[in-house]
Amino acid sequence: MGYEKYFREEHNIFRAQLRSFLEKELAPHADEWEEAGLFPREVFKKMGDLGFLGLRYPEEWGGTGGDYWYSVVYNEELPRCQSAGVAMSLMVQSDMCTPAIAAHGTPEQKEEFLRPALKGDKIGAICVTEPGAGSDVKAIRTRAVKDGDYYIINGSKTFITNGTRADWLTMAVKTNPDAGYGGISLFLFPTTTPGFSVTRKLNKLGHRSSDTAELAFEDCKIHKRYLLGEENKGFYYVMEGFQFERLAGAICALSGAQLVLAETINYAKQREVFGKPVSRWQANAHMIANLATELEAAKALVYHCCEMVNAGENALKEVSMCKLFVGELACKLTDRCLQLYGGYGFMEEYHIARAYRDTRLVTIGGGTSEVMRDIISKLMNL
C-alpha cells in the first residue's frame, strides 16, 4: 500500500532470495530445532556465505555495503523461518553484537571479530543484562579493573542469546563504578579467556530453538586492545546500538504478526461453527478488521522510522514508539488469533501456540514497554 517506493529492484531480488532460503532451508526444521532446544551452528555459516549477515556493513570487512532498506527486508523476512529463536539468534549476529564494532572498532578488532561474524565463521553475543540490571544499564556491576596493559574482569551476565556457544561477546562492564552512566565501557571478550564459564543454559517460555545463558567471569584477564572505542563511553555506545536493535525487533515482530494474522484468517475461513465459517460471525470479522487496521497503522509508523534511520537522522523517540506500539500490538494480536482457533489454538500441533509463547518477549527484550514510555515522555519534555 504505497511502500513499494522504498524498495528498488535489487531489494526485491534480495527479498526473493532470502525468502526462498528461509522457507526451503530453515522452516522445514523448525519443529525439530524447537524440540532440540538449539539449531545447528552451520546455519550461521550458510547465512554468512550468502551475504545475509553483512547487508549494511562495508565491503572491506566482508559486508555488502547496502542501505538500511536491505536490513528492513532482512528483518521482515526472518519470521518465515517459522522459529522465533532462530530469528532472534540471527538478529543478534547481524544487528546487535556487530554494529558497535563497525562504528567504533579498530581495524585489528574488525579483522578479528567483525569479518568472521559477517562470514558466519564466529558467533557473537551482546552482553549487557545482569541478574540485577536489565533496562537500567547504569546499574550493571560486572567490573573491569586496569592492570598495566590488561583489564581484570569479574562479574556475571544473564539472558544472553547465543551465550552457550558464542566465540566472543560485545560486553558492557563498569570501569569507573563511581561515575554512573559515565563509568561504563565496552569490551570485545573472547570466550576462550581463562576464568570465563557458562553457568547455566536457561529454560524459556518461548524462543526455544535459541540458546540463552547465564555467564560468569572470574579474574578474566584480557588485553587493552579489546577495549571497544573509548574507555567510559560504553553507555553511549549501548544506547546507540539500542536504536538499531529495537527497530530491528519492531520490524521482525510486525512481519511475524502479519503472518500470524494471515494464517489465522485462512483457518477462520475453513473452520465452521454452528453451520458457518468462524470468519463469517460478525464479532470475529470485526475483530479481524480492527487488527488488520492496527497492523497497517503500525507499518506506517515503522516505515517512517526506517526512512529516518536510512537518512541518518536521530530517531530515538520514533524507534521507542515503534518498539512500544508494535510490541503491544503483536501480543494482543496473537492472543486474539489464538482465541479464534478455540481449543485447537491451545494445541502445540498448531503454529499459533508457538507464536503465542514466542511473541510475549517482544514487550520485554531490548527494553520493556514501560521503559519505552519513559523514554518517549522524557523526549517530549513531560
pLDDT above 80: residue 194: yes
Query: Once rounded to an integer, what is the mean pLDDT over residues 13-30?
Result: 98
Question: Cα–Cα distance between 191 and 220 in angstroms, integer?
Answer: 10
How high does pLDDT run on average in the chain?
96
Q: What is the tens place of the pLDDT at every residue in 125-140?
A: 999 999 988 777 888 9
| Residue-level pLDDT at 133 | 81
Within the chain, all domains assigned CATH 2.40.110.10 are found at: 125-235
Within the chain, all domains assigned CATH 1.20.140.10 are found at: 236-379
Enumerate the active-site residues.
Answer: 245
Within the chain, all domains assigned CATH 1.10.540.10 are found at: 3-123
Question: Cα–Cα distance between 340 and 338 in angstroms, integer?
Answer: 5
Query: Once rounded to an integer, what is the mean pLDDT over residues 70-90?
Result: 97
For residue 220, the surrounding DSSP H or E stretch is strand 212-223
| Helices (H), ranges, 271-382 | 282-310, 316-341, 351-359, 369-379
CATH number for the domain formed by residue range(s) 236-379: 1.20.140.10
Sign of the C-alpha dihedral, residues 320, 326, 329, 335?
negative
Query: Once rounded to an integer, what is the mean pLDDT over residues 158-187?
Result: 96
What architecture does CATH give domain 125-235? Beta Barrel (2.40)
pLDDT above 70: residue 1: no
pTM for the predicted model, two decimal places: 0.94
Right CATH for 3-123 from 1.10.3210.10, 3.10.20.30, 3.30.1490.100, 1.10.540.10: 1.10.540.10
- Burial of 239-265, coded b for 16+ CB within 10 Å and e otherwise, reads ebbbbbbbbbbbbbbbbbbbebbebbb
Instruction: Give the residue carrying C-alpha cell 527497530.
Output: 247
Q: What is the tens place of the pLDDT at every residue in 323-376?
A: 999 999 999 999 999 999 999 999 999 999 999 999 999 999 999 999 999 999
Question: Cα–Cα distance between 5 and 214 in angstroms, integer?
Answer: 44
Do residues 155 and 133 touch, judged by C-beta distance below 8 A?
A: no
